[in-house]
Amino acid sequence: METGARAGGAEGGAGRNKGWELLLRLTEALCALGCVEDAQGRAQFAAMLADQLQRPVDLRGVKLREDVVALVRAALSVPGGEHVLVGVVRILEGSPAGDELDRLLAPVASPAAGADILAGPLTPAEEAEARALLARGDLPARCLRDDLADELNGLDLPPGLSPEQLLAHVLEWNTQPDGLPPAVLLLDRAARLALTRSHRLALSDWVDEWVQRASLVGELKERRSARSETPSDPDVPRCLLVAVEPARDGSGEVVVRSWLNTTQGRWDPQPAEPDITTLENLGGAVESALRQGARLWTVPREPDAGERLQQPPYVEFVLPYDLLNHDVAGLSYQIGDGRPLPLGLKYGVHLRSLERMRTDDAVVLQQWRERWFALRRHGVTVHGWSGPDGTRLDAWQTTLAGESSRTAVVLDAPADLAALAALKAAIAEGVGLAVWDRRGVFDDERREVVTAVFASVQTSAQIPLAIHRLRASAVLHAGGPGRFLGRHIGFLWDDPTRVVDLHPDEPDIAS
């Protein structure tokens, strides 16, 4: 399949030159008209043009020439659209101006000659589908713009554009040297940023189908592979992620799904086969997965490598609300013929919310990201909860919702219904860091220990290591001051940038 700038030799070059000459002539003429002098006038022009073309026309409303180019391109992307453009000028500026614009069309190529080039590599139907997909869910516009700029080798893109406006901006650009159009690359990048699984799949399916039709599957695969070679993030750990979900059929069984991320610095978790066990035997399932992880995590230690390589592997449990107070850090594992030891002695053990990782609620997901990025940028600001707050949960959540700078909660054990409601509210509001004493009421003395732990780190990324040390110290120094809290601390560390697919395509094995 030939697409856009890939099609044509000498004839394509001649058509392209004539097309750009027409674009230039019409742009110069329109910029001189009074009906487009201000942003309001250009918006009126765009609305009338869009109505006649029966397709959206997006303007930034900042620079005159930039908006006029968008108007002309929109008209030239539709067969006969240049005459529609003339008609709008006649209405808004008068017949003399329209006649003058009409005379500019004669010396250049016929409408069809320029339209094929200026319409870009997407057909009108594909363009309409792409627009609809981008508008289907919330996308972080600034991240999308930055990602696309990286994809196009640092090409400068206008700031402040919505995803649909960004598509309109790149729609008619020439394909890249590998044949992939910027518009298609935009949707591929959008798929990586989509907040919901359904939106993510719809975008990626559209891209996969487009490259299949264009015989560019290999080129897209190379692009995606190159992205995975981007500089690593030292805060991404070696990690075993364990999702535990009760069958809830009276059997007492739980479905265990696990993923291994074997390389520190890059999040690429690989799924293992699901397992069915009981909550009492969960430790055995985790131990089996850890044995596989130990083989894959073994890497040579570099001399004087520093603190970064000393970070222990994490074991993160993705749990439903009613299991968040389960003592997963106390699960035992055994090495060789030695006696079983608590999981938290060797590994950083964290809790994550199954309901939040599974949700497709765009508001919940967006708040989760925003609150997490605030934690990374500004550190820990605690929103506390204690027993007396149980009578005023609404006020507690309202305060949390209104103060996005609150990045952590310290509360009583969620085994208590009021404290569990508070934890659910915190998760709904996007909080990714929560600490509690699993035994029940979190008294002031133990809260001070947590405050000291938070204060002891230089960056929020060091909090998991600090909690791990607190737990390990409680096992190694049974008489130490932090022994009780270290043994019983509950620690939610729920990073929205490190997720897995909890919507398996195959039927649930528990059903």
Model confidence pLDDT, tens digit, residues 425-448: 999 999 999 999 888 887 777 788
Binning pLDDT at 50, 70 and 90, where does residue 119 land? very low
Beta-bridge partners for 271: 259
* pLDDT tens per residue across span 40-95: 899 999 998 988 887 788 888 888 888 888 898 888 877 677 888 988 998 898 88
Q: Do β-strands 348-353 and 341-342 pair in parallel, antiparallel, or remain unpaired?
A: unpaired
pTM for the predicted model, two decimal places: 0.60
Binning pLDDT at 50, 70 and 90, where does residue 335 land? confident
Closest alpha carbon to 118 in 74, 80, 84: 74
Closest alpha carbon to 461 in 489, 425, 498, 488: 498
Q: What is the percent of the chain with per-residue pLDDT over 90, rounded to a whole number?
A: 25
* pLDDT tens per residue across span 158-215: 777 889 889 988 887 777 878 899 999 999 999 988 877 788 899 999 999 999 988 8
- Going from N- to C-terminal start, the domains of the chain cover 4-118, 124-227, 239-302+309-493
> Can you say how many angstroms the Cα of residue 431 is from the centroid of all Cα atoms in its chain?
17
**Which ranges in 214-342 belong to alpha helices (H)?**
217-227, 282-297
Half-sphere exposure of 112 (CA within 13 A, CB side): 0
Q: Do β-strands 382-384 and 408-411 pair in parallel, antiparallel, or remain unpaired?
A: parallel
CB 341, CB 307: distance < 8 Å: no
Q: Look up residue 92 and give its two tokens.
A: 């808004």
CB 45, CB 35: distance < 8 Å: yes
Instruction: Report the C-alpha gap between 474 and 485 in whole angstroms.
Output: 8
Closest alpha carbon to 313 in 340, 291, 294, 341: 294
Average confidence score pLDDT of the chain? 81
Closest alpha carbon to 116 in 3, 1, 21: 3
Binning pLDDT at 50, 70 and 90, where does residue 453 land? confident
Binning pLDDT at 50, 70 and 90, where does residue 358 land? very high
